[in-house]
Amino acid sequence: MKATIKSAATMISIAFLLFLVFMSTASFALVEKKTYIVHMDQTKMMASNPQQWYKDLMDSVYDLSIEEEEEDDTTPPDLLYTYENVVSGFAATLSTKQLESLKKMDGFLYANPDRKLSLHTTYTPQFLGLQSANGLWSASNLSSDMVIGVVDTGIWPEHRSFHDSGMPPVPAKWKGKCENGKMFSSSNCNKKLIGARYFYKGYEASHGKINQTVDFLSPRDNGGHGTHTASTAGGSVVDEASLFGFASGSASGMMYTSRIAVYKTLWVNGGVNSDSLAAMDQAVADGVDVLSLSLGGAEAVPYYFDDTTIAAFGAIEKGVSVVCSAGNAGPSILTVGNTAPWIMTIAASYVDRSFRATVKLGNGLSFQGSSLSQSKSTMHLRLVYGTTAGGKRADYCIPGSLDHNLVKGKIVVCHGDFGYTTGETVKLAGGAGMLLINAKSRGEEQFADPHVLPTIALGFSKGKAIFKYLNSSEKPTVSITFEGTVYGTRAPMIGAFSSRGPNKVDVNVIKPDVTAPGANILAAWPPIVSPSQLTSDKRSVEFNIISGTSMSCPHVSGLVALLKSVHKKWSPAAIKSALMTTAYNMDNKNTPIVDAYDFEPATPFALGSGHVNPHAAVDPGLVYDITAEEYLLYLCSLKYTSSHIHAIARRSFKCPKKLASKPGDLNYPSFAVNFEGKARNVSLTHKRTLTNVGTPKSTYMVHLEEPNGVAVVVKPNILKFKRLGQKLSYQVTFIGYKSSEDAVYGSLVWMSGKYAVRSPIAVIWL
């Protein structure tokens, strides 16, 4: 943890209060027009269909606002979308006066301002233990009727990763379609890519018309992100895939026989919630089995203010699993996004494949780093940095900061905070290469990025040694040796960039849920987009290597599709439980999985329950299942209002007058224990229920790893199951006898023969 838990709790409270103040201020701010997502009570519907009702409602709002407006030049509200499948309501651009008029209409629940969203493999199947014709990849498990819906930047349909050779006809259940648009038609789809739609009304309402000279007003991908994520989740098998010869091998998605449906909602400058909500609504109507969303908002907000979270609830009620990225704001705590318990939230980690390069300084010291440079080894060249490379901000190599006369033919040291533009700046100034040094906030991790000139990425501590050499030598020199693709490095390892808990929305649910491969991932890429995504970079590639929780999310989306193909009757909660309780916490060196930031053991607030283990997840023994009703009782325990719960549930739900459960009693596969104050011997009791999906007659015994300063008592400590599907309950009492400024961790494992059903425990003192 990079800050005390006490300060973390304070940050949660302050952030929530500031959010309420912001919402209060925003409600009364006079703005010309703003897009709102409006939640409605459909039981009040006065027309035969929702679209007509909302249209009539907008007409009434306009008439009422005109009557009450002093001036008569008000423009009508613009109805952008109607939502029917996962949300009850619509998106519309409204003036402040029109919003006030809408609030008076029968059936209105509440309105949220539209929010901006941002984007958060040849080898990873083998790393995850997926092998052809075995286990989960056996023919009987590779059901080709599974449809993965990818909400992202679109797709490049001609890519080899989306070929349909040998695939059976499109499933009869499928109701989706491929929409025509710029450089895209229905003929671009096939038996692999069976759906392609695009949503832009909300984006244009807030950002203006899409510039079709820099983006395609169609499902076609002009950024690369969507093509990369879609192929990671469900891409077909492609032989001889690589990036410049790096990571060469056969590429495939996690479920390479699945169908793919893409929903483009993200454009050159990002996207907005109203469009993604429309995409999710349509995807569920089309018949997807899994929704994969490698995106999120900038701030964590209560679940009733997060429309993606609300739509996800509607999706899981219909049996559609929703998998989301955790975010890329690590290693800071309280940064994890997509935190609702019905969403599966994925952290990102490294696999045991690296792209190694070695720096040798003129004083004989050498350091290993990462590089995707194609160059051969360099001779000893002059090393420049800061004032020896240019003027103000030359240490960050920002555009215009480097002096061509000082840099030409030399290796430039740069702080690595400005992405690919850093290398572009060095190249334009005539530099021969670049040492990219992490800022302290990035720690020791090493991204392998396809920069536009020979580059090696180095961790913060190695950078300090290099700076020391620079300050002690009048004519510092360096040579670089590029070693290519190397296997067997320590892994998995949590990416320092991966967002962390505790859960800012509700500390009673540990987030993220699990980690999966997300650093240095090779997958499909559009040929018109350079690997660096710089306009000055004229290279064209078929595959690219990039990093982020955006990459780990589709790995799990594909695994969820695999599990659903085997266990068609399992709920989204049961599938999530199977992946969480079978996740592992030891790396390939038989030591605890560490954090790439500082190489210290990673905590549940970084890796969740652990690293996904698909072969174990297919037969987990026991699962923690959760019904929609149980989620709603959990919302009651958070003191949500009836209108907030109604909007999430899409129906009336009355909280019990005497609610027996607490937030910590949600039947989640992990334990978040939150003690208030510093009193000793304070206790909390959480309840859980397990469902037998393993051996009909089986006995499980509990094994505990108690957190430091906390005693754990489980009653009963033995569970005897007599049949499949049987449910047995237990309760856990946590007794804090020694408080701590930082979180402490442990685990609870139910064991029976080959089964080990593990739940992490994270304890904090608020």
Q: pLDDT (tens digit, 9 = 90+) per residue, 690-741?
A: 999 999 999 999 999 999 999 999 999 999 999 999 999 999 999 999 888 8
Q: Where is pLDDT greater, at 682 or 149?
A: 149
For residue 20, what pLDDT band results from cuts at 50, 70 and 90?
very low
Query: Which pair of tokens denotes residue 53?
Result: 């009702």
Partners of 584 in the beta sheet? 611
Which residues 6+ apart lie within 8 Å of 97 measured at CB?
65, 68, 69, 74
Interhelix angle 628-637/642-649, rounded to 10 degrees, is 160
CA distance 326 to 370: 24
Residue 122: strand, helix, or coil: coil
**What pLDDT score was predicted for residue 301?**
86
Percent of all residues in the chain with a pLDDT value above 70, rounded to a whole number: 91
Calculate mean pLDDT across residues 108-125.
76
For residue 29, what pLDDT band results from cuts at 50, 70 and 90?
very low
Which residues 6+ apart lie within 8 Å of 39 measured at CB?
87, 88, 89, 109, 110, 111, 112, 310, 646, 647
pLDDT > 60? residue 135: no
The arrangement of strands across the sheet holding 116-119 comes to 271-272, 116-119, 295-297
**What pLDDT score was predicted for residue 4?**
47
**What pLDDT score was predicted for residue 128?**
63
C-alpha angle 99/269/423, rounded to 5°? Answer: 155
Q: Where is pLDDT greater, at 159 or 421?
A: 159
Calculate mean pLDDT across residues 93-115.
90
For residue 658, what pLDDT band results from cuts at 50, 70 and 90?
confident
pLDDT > 90? residue 25: no
**What pLDDT score was predicted for residue 759?**
98
pLDDT > 90? residue 616: yes
Q: pLDDT (tens digit, 9 = 90+) per residue, 209-220?
A: 999 988 999 999
Please state the length of the chain. 766
Nearest to 411 by CA among 462, 479, 482: 479
Nearest to 259 by CA among 293, 225, 224, 283: 283
**What pLDDT score was predicted for residue 46?**
67
**What pLDDT score was predicted for residue 50?**
80
Give Dmax (Cα) for the chain: 82
Question: Exposed, middle or buried by CB within 10 Å (0-12, 13-18, 19+), for 169?
Answer: exposed
Cβ 490 vs Cβ 595: under 8 Å: no
Calculate mean pLDDT across residues 635-639.
94
pLDDT > 80? residue 144: no
CA distance 610 to 579: 9
Cα–Cα distances in Å, from 448 out to 158, 200, 482? 27, 33, 12
pLDDT > 60? residue 394: yes
CA distance 115 to 104: 24
**What pLDDT score was predicted for residue 48?**
67
Cβ 167 vs Cβ 144: under 8 Å: yes
Q: pLDDT (tens digit, 9 = 90+) per residue, 535-588?
A: 889 999 999 999 999 999 999 999 999 999 999 999 999 999 999 999 999 999
**What pLDDT score was predicted for residue 12?**
42
Q: pLDDT (tens digit, 9 = 90+) per residue, 327-363?
A: 999 899 999 999 999 999 999 999 999 899 999 999 9
Instruction: Show which residues are catalytic.
Output: 152, 225, 550
pLDDT > 80? residue 299: no
Q: pLDDT (tens digit, 9 = 90+) per residue, 206-246?
A: 999 999 988 999 999 999 999 999 999 999 989 889 998 88
Cα 628 from chain centre: 23
Q: What is the DSSP string of 342-361?
A: TSEEEEEEE-SEEEEEEEEE
Q: pLDDT (tens digit, 9 = 90+) per residue, 665-690?
A: 999 999 999 998 777 788 999 999 99
Q: Where is pLDDT greater, at 15 or 660?
A: 660
CA distance 562 to 116: 32
End-to-end CA distance of the chain: 15
pLDDT > 90? residue 21: no
pLDDT > 50? residue 121: no
**What pLDDT score was predicted for residue 28?**
35
CA distance 604 to 606: 5
Q: Buried b vs exposed e over 18-57: b needs ≥16 C-beta within 10 Å?
A: ebeeeeeeeeeeeeeebbbbbbbbeeebeeeebeebbeeb
**What pLDDT score was predicted for residue 56?**
86
**What pLDDT score was predicted for residue 71?**
47
**What pLDDT score was predicted for residue 125?**
60
For residue 375, what pLDDT band results from cuts at 50, 70 and 90?
confident
Query: Which pair of tokens denotes residue 608?
Result: 């969740």
Average pLDDT for the chain: 89
Q: Where is pLDDT greater, at 254 or 25?
A: 254
**What's the DSSP call for residue 618?**
T
